[in-house]
Structures are given as structure tokens and as C-alpha cells.
Structure 1
Amino acid sequence: AIKMADKGHGVLFVVLNHAGDMLTGNLTMKQVKKLGINVVKVVTQEDVANAPRENADDRRGLVGCVPLYKIAGAAAAAGKSLEEVAAIAQKFADNMATIAVATKGATHPATGMEIAHIAEGTMEVGMGQHGEGGGGTQPMKSADETAAIMMDALLKDLDVKAGEKLMVVINGSGATTLMEQLIVFRACHKLLAEKGIEVVASAVGEILTVQETAGFQMFIARMDDELLGYWNSPCRTPYYRN
């Protein structure tokens, strides 16, 4: 895939921080080096649930990879060099945070067995992309209460202050309706407005799903004029259009 993507200017290689992904990603980097292809790797590791920011190498990659693809792609389309595109992608990656919640785990696509069991009437705040735990189980809360718990964790992680501008993404995990996702987004918008924080970019929907997990991922990223410009740049792909 990297050989096909290389048009003579190099390739940006985005890897989510999971053990298997990192293993194959590192092996790939060794192979492309032997082939003489100019490749720069950026790792996304924005899950706040399973490690503090100062120990980011232990953090999982969640939905943050998708807006990063969009921003990096827009920078490339604008004629930036590979090194410049990688620096823009890394700046975005360093300023994003995600946390997930689930009320029902996914099932294995081959066996139909439940990957992660969550007791009825409870929710797992800190669920990983594939059903891994991380934040702990607690009694089910309302959408607004859950949004407040999650947003507080994200703002604390990024140390967001009043007056700053954020991107907010609510990513459905497969079995949460768009209406429910929009209710959560509304709660986020209200919470941030009360803190004097402006939402300048957003997305709501099933962006990166986990089979039919009931829950969602909440993502925020600190934005500046450069990142916002790339996010808002026109885009027409099979997966995403802007």
C-alpha cells in the first residue's frame, strides 16, 4: 500500500497505538527503509483512560486518527512537503484527547461471542477500541451526566482554558443512534460554552465503529487557524466529504 501511495514525494504513515498495529508498523518501517521509500510515521495515542499524558506511549489510539487524516491530507493537497505534513499531523496529534463509554460490548465477528461483558445497568467509562477496559465500571448515568464526566476528563488532560478553541467529535461505536449522539454533542456544547470555550469544528456520527458496541467516543482537539483551515478545506473521498 505504501509503495502504491508513493508518488515520488514520500508517504505519511499513521499508526494507531495498539500492540499489533505497532508491531506491524515498526516492521513496515524497516521494510520501506530497505526499499528506499521516504516514509514518516506518526502514532496516534490520545486515549486518556488508560495512561496519563506524560506516559503517552501506553495510550491507545481511538477516533482521533480520522480528523488527523483529513487535516494531513489537506496539508498535502496544499503542496506542503512530507516533513511539513508530518509536523502538522504531529501538532494535531499532540493536542487531541479521546475517551470512550460503553453500555454493551461488541461481539466477535466470527464466533458471535461477546468480547467484553458489561453488566446491565452499568457503563464502562474508558472502554478501548476493541472492548478493552480502562476506566472502570459505574452505574448508568444520563446522557448529560455522562457527557460531563467525560468532558471533564478530556479538558483536564489537555489543560484547556477559557478562551481556547476546540474541535469536538462524537463517534458512535455501532449501536448508538444518531439522535443519542446529537444529545451528547448538545451537552458538550453547553458545557464548553459555560466554561468560555468555543467549539469551532465538529463531527457527529459513526466514524470509527466497533461492531455493534453500544456507546460512543468523545474526542476534543485544541485548534488554531492553521489546523482549522485544513479541516475546513474541500474534500471528496469515498469515506468523507466536506
Structure 2
Amino acid sequence: MKMKKFINNPENLTDELLDGLAAANRDIIHRGEENMIINNALEGADRVTIVTQGGSGHEPAISGFVGEGMVDISVVGDIFAAPGPQACVDAIKLADKGKGVLYIVLNHAGNMLTGNLTMKQCKKLGLNVVKVVTQEDVSNAPRENADDRRGLVGCIPTYKIAGAAAAEGKSLEEVAAIAQRFADNMATLAVAVRGATHPSTGAALADLGEDDMEIGMGQHGEGGGGRQPMKSADETAEIMVNALLKDIGIQSGEKVMLFINGSGATTLMEQLIIYRKCEQILKEKNIEIVANYVGELLTVQEQAGFQMFMARMDDELLRLWNAPCRTPYLTKK
């Protein structure tokens, strides 16, 4: 099937989308050198600052969450590709306002290679940086092998909670510890019913056939070993929410954050039907949802499916989640 997308020269995709993002949100962000998206308020930031990185093609993630109370600089790679380490080092140097930098990296091979090389160079330069890795995909490794887990939508609430802690004036060690505590108590499981196409090449990222779905689909069409016949919304929700509860070890009486993140081509109607069932299941188990989101935060072009995200919450994490922020795609007052 011929790819139909409103694009120009495929070689200019990242450049043009970053121009568009900055132009559409010029009151919050601006575009810097080396494909950086920068918080307009960074210059006057007397606090810990936050830098992250990742490939384009997952909009609004990750650059749509640059702004006050979240990320200060996002370093953007080409479609589904990590940026180079020099750009990340330059971003960390630019971001550092004397209080240190939290560097958040999603666990994918390219991002981790860049992240490790970046940290090595930062150490040589004597920069005050702490790296936190988000690695919460339950489908491709058990919790005891967390370093093998892919980073999915969990990066977004991690940005929010870390950003709020930084805004409160906490030290770099305190901000990093809070971000790590949250990251250690979160889990995501994705499902897809149709794969996306690579917008530069038109290549299909996954072939799921007419009657199947895959629980455990990765960010770029990677399989998760959960290929099965298509199920109803309620059946799918039950499989997924129970897998997340088991992974984190959530018990009766606990409080959780729950996201249904659309992958790009799943309607809000479907996402809300899924969320409804999740709430019913959790209520029956005496588990309280204290923070939530339903909608698109991190997409995979026009992949049909969603990511279900859950995290254990406490009073401090809830306060930080609810703290003010202003970014292109998430604002809290």
C-alpha cells in the first residue's frame, strides 16, 4: 500500500517538524542549534535543570514536554533514531545554571549508547550531571532484569515529577532520587492491532494481519511475544491491568497513577472504553486511582493500539504530579 502522509522531502522531516513545533509554541519554547528544543525560561533558571533526548516521530513526545515545570532541553534525533552524544553534551553545558543537571534517557539501544558516551564526556569535563534511565516495559524482561526493559510512555510523568521537584528548589541528588523512586515503581504494557509506517521510507514497522493483536509491541514495531487473536476492550484491559499490578506488586489499599496512551491511530472513544474497565477492575481490588491521563502523549506515527501505564503513588509524588507546569502538550495550573 502506498504511504499517504502530508510531508515534503523525507530528508527534511525532522528539521521541518521542529520548525513547526517551535513556531506553534513560541511563547514557551524555541529551537536551538543541533536540533535542540529549549525552554524559553531556561536562561533565568536558578535551580536544577533537566535534559532529555530521543528520536523524532513520536510526537508530542518528547519535545512537546519542554517548558516550565518539566524539561529544559530536548535533544532530537532523526525519525526513530537517537541524537549524537556531542549534541547532548552541549545541551547539558547550556542547561547547567550552577545547580546541576538531571539527564533522563529512555532505555533503547541507540539512546543508551548516546547516553553512556555523553556521561563519559561530562565526567571528563567535570560537569555536575546525574543520569536516570526509564525502563518500564514489562513485556520484554522480568523486573529483576530491568536493564533489559524498554522505555515507553513512563518518561513523560518522570519528566513532570522531576521537573516539579527541581522547581521546588531541591538539590540535584534529591531530584534524581525522587525521579528514580518513581521510575522504580512504574510499569507499562503496550498493545497494537496495526503497525505504523516509517515516514521517511514508507516501510511497514509491523505486520499484524487482519485478526490479530500483539500485547507487548515495542516503540518501533518490535514484537513482544504476545501475538493473539483480537479481543474485546474489556478482555484486553483485564489482561493488561492485571499484568501491571503483578509486575509492580500493587496491593489492596494502595494508590496508583494510570495512563492510557494512544499510539497514534486509536480513537479517544476506544481509549476511554479501556480506561473505564481499568477503573472498574481497580475499584474491585480496592486500589485507588489518584492521578490519570487518557490521550496521546507518545505515539508511533499511525500505529493502532495503546500503552497502559501504571505507577505506585504516595503523597509526595502526587503533589509533584499536580504541581504547575506549562509545556506545549501538558499544562497544569
> In which range does the TM-score fall when normalised by the shorter chain?
over 0.9
Query: Following the alignment from structure 1 to structure 2, what is the Cα–Cα distance between the partners of residues 113 and 129?
Result: 15
Partners of 2:276 and 2:133 in 1: CA distance: 30
Q: Deviations over 1:156-215 (max 9, x none)?
A: 101111000000001000001111111111111111001110000001111000011000
- The CA deviation string for residues 204-231 of structure 1, in whole angstroms up to 9 with x for no partner, is 1110000110000000000000000000
User: For residues 111 and 130 of structure 2, what CA distance do their matches in structure 1 show?
Assistant: 16
Note if 1:190 corresponds to 2:277.
no
**1:67 corresponding residue in structure 2:** 157
2:322 to 232, 238, 242: 232
Aligned with residue 111 of structure 1, among 201, 206, 209: 201
**Larger CA deviation: 146-155 vs 108-117:** 108-117
**In the alignment, does 2:167 pair up with 1:82?**
no
The number of residues matched between the two structures is 242
Partner of 1:42: 132
CA distance in 2, matches of 1:26, 1:12: 14
Aligned partners of 2:285, 2:127: CA distance in 1, in Å?
A: 47
The aligned amino acid for 2:237 is: A
The percent of aligned pairs where both chains have the same amino acid is 76
Aligned to 1:160: 250
Q: Deviations over 1:24-71 (max 9, x none)?
A: 000000111122210000011100000000111110000000000000
Q: What amino acid is the match of 2:103?
A: F
Cross-structure match for 2:213: 123
RMSD: 0.7
1:17 aligns with 2:17: no
Instruction: Tell me the distance in 1 between the aligned counterparts of 2:275 and 2:193.
Output: 18
TM-score relative to the length of structure 2: 0.72
The residue type equivalent to 2:167 in the other structure is A
- Which residue of structure 1 aligns with residue 13 of structure 2? none
Aligned to 1:8: 98
Shift of 1:135: 3.1
Q: 1:137 aligns with which of 227, 239, 242?
A: 227
Q: CA deviation at 1:239?
A: 3.0
Equivalent-residue separation in structure 1 for 2:275 and 2:131 (angstroms): 32
Measure how far apart 1:4 and its partner are: 1.6
Letter in 2 for 1:225: D
Choose which of 171, 175, 178 in structure 1 pairs with 2:268. Answer: 178
